[in-house]
Amino acid sequence: MAVVDVTKSCLDSISQISEHIEGSVLYLDAGCTKSFQYTGAFPLLLNHGVRALCSLENISSLDTVVDWNANSDPVRKVVVITSRLLSDAHRYILRCLSTHQAVDCCTVFTSVSEIAHSAYPDSPLGPDAFHEYESLLVQDYEELVKKDKKNSRRTEGSNLKDISQNEASLSARNFIEDKSVADTEDVGKKLVVSVHHFPMILCPLSPRVFVLPSEGSVGDAYLSVKHEDALSPGLPPLSTGLLSDGDDIPAGATLTANFLYHLAAKMDLKMEIFSLGDLSKTVGKIMTDMSSLYDVGRRKRSAGLLLIDRTLDLLTPCCHGDSLVDCMFSSLPRREKTTSSAHLKSSQNQLKHGPSNLERASLDVQIPLALVLREEDNNTDNFRLLESIEAFLCGWDSGNSASQVLDLMNLKNKVHNEKPLEFENELLSGSFVSTESFRGTPYMEAILDRRTKDGAVLVKKWLQEALRRENITVNVKSRPGFVTKSELQLMVKALAKTQSSLLRNKGIIQLAAAALVALDESNSARWEAFMSAERILSVVSAGDTTQSLSAQIDDLINKTALMGLHGQKNKKSEASKGLLSFQDALLLMISGYILAGENFPTSGSDGPFSWQEEKLLKDSIVEAILENPSIAKLKFLHGLMEELETNLSRIKSDESKETSSDQIDIDDFDDDQWGKWGDEEVDNKNNSKEQVYSDMQLKLELRDRVDNLFKFLHKLSSLKSRNIPLKDGSLSSENNFSGDPYASRGLLYKLLTRVLAKNDVPGLEYHSSTVGQLFKSGFRRFGLGQAKPSLADQNIILVFVIGGINSVEVREAQEALSESGRPDIELILGGTTLLTPDDMLDLLLGKSSYF
């Protein structure tokens, strides 16, 4: 029996479109680039005859000569693969076609199905979306060609000038000039456009764990409209039992349902759908409505699909669990997004009740290899990165190295002298690739469910094996079962000492470099401080009263505010010293309120704490923001930051004036000055009254903002009472602290444990297809009615968390499967995105929040 492998299914899907991409210049948008990067698909694309790979958003005139050689023909075939709606990608596709004037065939692949295009709110495309877009693109392209013909000479000259400014070679320019006449004739030919569906745009973290790429329409679509039960456009609403219907269905529900339906079809799986949560039920209903007799008749492997709302468990992604992968993703910098929401003409921005934008954190992390492979640390070797790039540029244009490459060398010297480290980091940064493996075992799969210490030990073992294979000896003291940053760094440098060894072992080198960042003192100390604070909150929330919990939260706020004020004076950030910031304290306060709501169910609508306890918390936050406004750059202070900073500057100025006035000797005053004191006293009184009024107004406005913050926290504390599946307490977060910091389990672990044991789960709904219901109703007439299917009866189970997952949940899901005694079950885990605690803070209190 074939083993389910998400990564292999993605690569197979690429091979299935090999006829379309062969001999083409392939353009990928940002979402597809991330997907293919994690999948390791770039070598496969080149093996299938792709002439060049280019960025759809960053189209350049150099794309026309990117694969040029003496015998090449101009590009006639362009293929675009996009993870966005066709309407969103249209302007980029049009720009791509205008860049390649000789193209006569354009093939567009989109990850959004034709049905999803027509069902998307305010979509300009109808039921026959793909054919409609083919006509639209040809029409717009012909109009563009007509405009270009009127100014062909001027356009041709400007194109050559642009290429010259971008350091293109003289031979490349001659190539364009030779082909310019033919290109002009070809422009008038009819463009052939075809649009197809390519659903396998996802980021596999391992063969059985995947998330959706950011900057894609499915991953970035809003999951809830703004209403009383909504927390964030990036999270499902609370499960109150009121399902969305018709126009109220969020775009994310429609796109997610279509994605999962076609994912199952590509993997030849026939899904039995179960859901927990209101939005999951909506997605399940859409998927069952898409089923047909055609699906029933096909021979497919049976599988169970379990859909879960993220809002049923917000505590797990808010906490800093013991996971090396979570720590790496939180510590590593992310690449800047290719397109900003301000310039993206998304149809989603036109929705009346939807958010203006939803920007999820990029999954494309930057692993700083340059920090590990510093040139000054490799004096004994000839591995000089910048010189190697310079040599490549000279070789690319050997006929004109004196003129064209001189500017490049001057630029290199300038950058090398001014900002060498930043330049090297930009040139040499790694990324995670799920297909990189050690003896057939993918690196990411092996460490995804590991704790920090276990994962680091495993990385160290892989480095030692790689050094042994390369016959490299490293003089380093090593203790079995322990890992230090210095020994990892020495092994990585030794393994990357030569370019050949670097290329052969790039997978483990990149992973080790990422682990080094996570194990760095500033990052690891902050992560451990979080874990310690969360452990304390977990302990005190198990008490009989809320007093200890509120006192701990108040203490965290005051300490972080004091540290922030001290750090501002010393011009050092808390993060640089591994300490928690004021925003970190707000994230801990969110966890504290969720814990209080679960452990003190008798708390009223005014929150889990008494008004005296909450007043102290409010006062602490107000004072902290007034003393240092820069520590709380969050959405709830939008429009008030400038006034707060101005007020703080005025207070400091007044304090400095008072200090200087105390030092003035009374003998310095002459007789004339005594006569003016009366007038000055009146002016000072008037100014002080105005200032007191201004200060009071600012404080009142700030208190109103803080009051709204606590109303939002009250909503978070009511998750257990307002989410219907959590009311009986069987799935709420455990909080029986027994000395083991990892004893508490999240919702996913408890849900899978109950499901695999065939126990009843409150709120779990089974979605029977229309065809299935028809057969069952017919059988019931003859007394042959079938029992409700059980998810535990399936040998393949796909769990998808709408809103996102983290690595701790991957481990807990594997533990639940191991404890069930069912080794025959193949478990696949997916989610909208990979969540870090910082992502949760942004979703709940940041720019992506409805608060």
CA 641 to chain centre: 27
Distance, CA of 677 to CA of 682 (rounded, Å)? 9
Contact predicate 701/628, CB 8 Å: no
Sign, CA dihedral 200-204-210-212, equals negative
pLDDT confidence of 640, banded at 50, 70, 90? confident
Cα separation of 235 and 282, whole Å? 14
User: Taking residues 268-284, what's their average pLDDT?
Assistant: 93
The H helix count followed by the E strand count for the chain is: 36, 14
Q: Specify the pairing of strand 765-767 against strand 269-276.
A: antiparallel
- Write down the pLDDT at residue 422: 45
Percent of the chain with pLDDT over 70: 72
Min mean pLDDT across 70-79, 216-225, 608-617 is at 70-79
> What is the C-alpha to C-alpha distance for residues 96 and 57, in angstroms, rounded to an integer?
9
- Listing DSSP states for 729-748 in one string gives SSSSPP----S-TT----HH
Task: Give tens-digit pLDDT for 481-519.
Answer: 888 888 998 999 899 888 888 888 888 999 999 999 999
Element (H, E) at 510: helix 506-519
Q: What is the pLDDT of residues 419-458, one digit of tens each?
A: 444 444 455 677 888 888 877 788 899 999 999 999 999 9
Q: At what angle do helices 547-569 and 521-540 cross, to 10 degrees?
A: 160
Pick the most confident of 93-97, 611-615, 805-809. 805-809
Predicted confidence (pLDDT) at residue 386 exceeds the cutoff of 70: no
What pLDDT was estimated at residue 643?
80
First-to-last CA distance in the chain? 50
Q: Which residues contact 169 (CB under 8 A, 6 or more apart)?
A: 396, 397, 399, 400, 404
- 749 near 806, Cβ under 8 Å? no
Could you give the C-alpha distances from 661 to 658, 666, 675, 680, 792, in angstroms and in order? Answer: 5, 10, 19, 15, 80
Residue with tokens 């107000």: 622
Gap between the Cα atoms of 537 and 700, Å rounded: 31
8-state DSSP, 168: -
CA 580 – CA 838 distance, rounded (Å): 13
Tell me the whole-structure pTM to 2 decimals: 0.85
Q: Look at residue 244 and tell me whether its pLDDT is greater than 90.
A: no
pLDDT at 22 over 60: yes
Q: Do 94 and 57 meet the contact criterion of CB atoms below 8 Å apart? A: no
Q: Give 87-106 as a DSSP string.
A: HHHHHHHHHHHHH-TT--EE
Q: Decide: 763 and 239 in contact? Cβ < 8 Å.
A: yes
pLDDT in tens, 682-739: 455 555 555 554 778 888 888 998 999 999 999 999 888 888 888 776 676 554 434 4
Alpha carbon of 712 to those of 20, 110, 848: distances in Å? Answer: 51, 38, 14
pLDDT above 50: residue 219: yes
Q: Please say whether the dihedral angle defined by the alpha carbons of residues 32, 33, 39 and 44, taken in this order, is positive or negative.
A: positive
| Residues 301 and 796: beta-carbon distance below 8 Å | yes
Q: How far apart (Å, rounded) are the C-alpha atoms in residues 87 and 182?
A: 32
**Residue 147 pLDDT grade (very low, low, confident, very high; cuts 50, 70, 90):** confident
- Of 42, 34, 102, 40, the C-alpha closest to 68 is 102
| Three-state DSSP state, 108 | strand
**How many other CB atoms are found less than 10 A from the CB of residue 371?**
17
23-73 residue pLDDT tens:
889 999 999 999 999 999 999 999 999 988 999 998 887 777 666 655 567
Question: How far, in Å, CA of 368 to CA of 515, rounded?
Answer: 11
Q: How high is the mean pLDDT of the chain? A: 79
Give the pLDDT confidence of 388-406 residue by residue, as tens digits: 555 554 544 444 444 444 5
What is the arithmetic mean of pLDDT over 471-478?
Answer: 84
